[in-house]
Every structure is written in C-alpha cells, then in structure tokens.
Amino acid sequence: MQREDIRNGLIVSCQPVPAGPMDNAEFVTGFAKAAIDAGARALRIESVAYVRAVRSAVTVPIIGIVKRDLSDSPVRITPYVSDAEALADAGADVVAFDATDRVRPAGIEELVRAVKAKGKLTMADCSSLEDATQALAAGVDFVGTTLSGYVGGPEPVDPDIDLVAAMRRLTPYVIAEGRIRSPEQAAAAVKAGAYAVVVGSAITRTEHVTAWFHEALAKAYTRQDGRSAETVLAVDIGGTKTMAALVKGTVIADEILVPTAREAGPDAWLEAVAERTAQWRGRYARIGFAVTGLVQDGRWSALNPATLGIPHGYPLVDRATRLFGKPVFAMNDAQAAAWGEYKFGAGSGENLVFLTISTGIGGGIVINGRPLPGLAGHFGLIRGPSQGRSPLEDETSGRWITVEALKAGHEAEAAKVFENARQGAPWARAIVSQSALRAATLCRDIQLMLDPNQIVIGGGVGLAAGYIDEMREHLKDVAPRLAPRLVAAKLGGRAGIIGVADLAGEGG
C-alpha cells in the first residue's frame, strides 16, 4: 500500500460496541463490505481477529488497531509492540497506535520501527499538535486527530476541526477522526486540510446512532409543550436594567428586575445578581447570561460603549462560573432573544432575523435552525446610513429619541415621546417617524442581504404602540418581493432570558 491509496477518501471504522449484539466477525465483515460498496476507500478495524477476518473478504487498505485496558497506563490503542506486529501479520496495511504524551508500555519510536520492519505504514492517534509533532519526528506516516478530547476533562461533542488545520501545517498526511457524525462535519474536515476522513459510530454503531436520535427526540418531545428538563437561572444584563429569572422552557417561575449600575462595572453587576438571587440557590442547574455587546469564547466586550461600558475581553463565563459555582453559557442578548422567538415566539421555526430597538439596536439571525454567534446581527453598529459618522443606533434608538426630544425643547424619555406622539404632538410625531424610517430602511436592506422568512421586531421602542405600523408605512411603496415581512415579537422583554435559558439548558 502507498499513502496515496487513501488520499481524498472516506475511511469507515467498523468497530462494534464491545460485547454488543454485533460484536462478531460476521457482522464486522458485513459492515466492511457494505461500506466499500458505498464508496469507502479504506477501513479501520479493531482486533487482530477482526483484521484477519475482514482481510480475507476485501482488498482495500485496512488500518488495524488493538484496544486494551491496562492497569499501569492510560494508553489503550495498540499499546504493545507485539500488538503492532500481530496486526501487520493479520493483514493490516496501516497500524495505528496511541501517540499521546502519557505513560506507555512501548515508545512511539519502538512501535514505528516494528511496523516498518513488517513493511507496513504507521498512523499516530494524537490528542494535540504537540503529539503530532513528536510522532512525525519519530517517523510516522500519518497523524490523526483520533484522541483529541479523550485524554482528560469532559468529552466534546463536535470534531476538532481546528486541530486538523493545525496538523495540516505540519504535514499533508492528516487523517481526521473523532466525533465526525454528519456529512457536513466530514466536509469541514476536508476544508481544513484532511488527507482522508474516518467516520465510525455514525455509520457502524447502531447503538450509538439510535441513542443520538432517542436523546434528540426525548428533548424535542419534552420541550414541545414548553417544558424543560431542568431549571436555568437566566440573566439579561442590558444598558439600563438587569433581569434575572428562573426559567423552565417558557415558564418563568420567579424573576427580579434591578437597574444596571452603569458605572459600577461587570464585577459589581455579577455580584449584585448573585446577592439578589441567593435565595434561589439549589433551584437551578445551569446559568445563562444574555448581555449587550460581543461575546466571544466566553469573553465579553463592548461594541458600542455608549450602550454599556465593558472592559475589553472581560472573562464573563469564567468569573460567573467561579461566583455561582454552576456551568455558565453566555451570548449576546439580541442573539439569545432571536433564538427565544424562533423556538417559542413569533418565529414559527422558520429562518428569521430578530431586531430589537430599545436603548440601542441589536439583532440576531437564526438560519437552518442555528443561531449565528459572534458579530452576526449587530445591525445597530452599521454606519452606511450616517455616511460613517456614527452607528445607526445612535441615530435611531431610544437614546437618540430622548436626545432629539431635548433638542426640540422637551425633557422626555422615549416612552414619554411616544405618548406625546399618540396625542398628536407634531414634534414627537416627527421624531418617531424619523426613527421608524431608519429602522424600516434597515429592514429593507436586511431583506436584500439575507432574505429571511420574517423580521421579528422587539424592544421597548420596537414594540411601542404604533411603531411597527409606522415602519410598514415607510415600506408601503416597496415591491412585494423586496419588502420584509415585519412581525411583532411575542415574548416581549423576556425573549432574551427564555432564549438563553434554552441554549444554556442544551449546554450551549
């Protein structure tokens, strides 16, 4: 066998659940032949006996491994030189072994020499870039991501695509393996530079695949009527107020509302929430934070300090986890609200854009059943309409309405301006109309960029009486196909906490 024989190929791992109903040579050989018939380029087979059985039935390359549970070493995959030699003699073209930096019966160099002496190729099952670097120095032919996430700590859900990309910078001979459960994930591994891709449980372990579907359906049926498997403490930190609530599905069992002490800073905001919710300890299993600004890798930053001043890169998830002693998930508040409306509110399970017009302007996007994280949806920060002078929210939102009222000689918050507009005050009607025009223009642009099924409008300004109607009035001359469908949010000011509670309950 040459390395090129598996290039750009699918490798199917035919490893039955130990002691399961399919743990015999006949089933393993059947899986192997079915995989080849469907286009698999190679196979990954566990145990000398199964390698020998499959080798007699197929001609494609076989990656062979032996698994052992040792009392004096955490290494399980082909730990002994004798295992590697036996696999080669049984017909494996490639012998794979654990290449992690842990206490082991045989060194990587010994294993490589033994396999090479048999005229076979080697694959290093790695957990990190450091493992791959050392294995390549020892002369292995392939490096794989097989053990990423399996050498300590909680097991991840998704494949380590980043490690595939990092390894690809060391060598072209990278085999992506581990938790690849969908064609999309396999394609992502290819995009990251994988030479070949291994898929196992998703194809050949009926027990695992059935369990995935069973768990997904159980959660879906549990949540169908608004019930959740566990209660979540949901916290929404906004520019003017902070809400904390105990949430189970869409049911809010308890809630508190406190002003956000803008100058106090995030440490003080978290401590205030912890103090006010102390009586709820023991009633929730997880915590979800919905916050204004950008959340990236658990760190919180301000995108518009005028909305709320946050130190750049504040370690929100880490600080909250230490303070509350529970698992914490954090997301931008408008993105969380978008998810809440999608799952439980006005979204009807369709692709949507959520736009909240309040103290500032935020937004969220849900496409194909997934909320887009990071910067996606921060529509209030676009500067095109102002020719670069300032963010759109500074010329549209509740803050702007208050400032414009003062310019017109009226000291009034946004709510008071709306009240005056409803009473027919020309100055108030002009301010509201101008804000609604800019919001409507934003929605028209969003429709052209993303073409969502609907744009859900929320926030104190967005849901103020007559505001959405005013927006629609400004869009009345737009051709039907180009016009956005504007829908009022159904969850109101609770969309963010309901959305983040749902996401936190799912583990983020």
What is the tens place of the pLDDT at every residue in 394-422? 889 998 999 999 999 999 999 999 999 99
Q: Is 232-337+497-505's fold the same as 347-489's?
A: yes
Q: How far apart are CA 50 and CA 25, in angstroms?
A: 6
Three-class DSSP category at 118: coil
> What confidence tens digit (pLDDT) does each residue in 321-362 have?
999 999 999 999 999 999 999 988 888 778 999 999 988 888
Q: How far apart are CA 431 and CA 395, in angstroms?
A: 10
Residue 84 pLDDT: 98
Token pair, residue 307, equals: 């909305």
Where are the domains positioned within the chain? 3-211, 232-337+497-505, 347-489
Tell me: domain 347-489, CATH 3.40.50.720, correct?
no
Residue 229 pLDDT: 57
Architecture (CATH level 2) of domain 232-337+497-505: 2-Layer Sandwich (3.30)
Q: How far apart are CA 65 and CA 97, in angstroms?
A: 7
CA distances from 436 to 274, 442, 470 (A): 38, 10, 6
Residue 507 pLDDT: 62
Q: Is the pTM here over 0.75, yes or no? A: no
Token pair, residue 212, equals: 């995935």
Question: Does residue 495 contact residue 458 with C-beta atoms inside 8 Å?
Answer: yes
The amino acid at 423: Q
What is Dmax (Cα atoms) for the chain? Answer: 92
Kindly state the helix (H) or strand (E) to which residue 414 belongs, with its residue range: helix 414-422
For residue 357, the number of C-alpha atoms closer than 13 Å in the C-beta half-sphere is 31
Q: How far apart are CA 114 and CA 231, in angstroms?
A: 55
In the chain, which stretches have pLDDT less than 50? Answer: 228
Residue 224 pLDDT: 56
Q: Which residue has the tokens 């694959």?
A: 123
CATH match for 3-211 among 3.50.50.60, 3.40.50.300, 1.10.3210.10, 3.20.20.70: 3.20.20.70
Three-class DSSP category at 109: helix
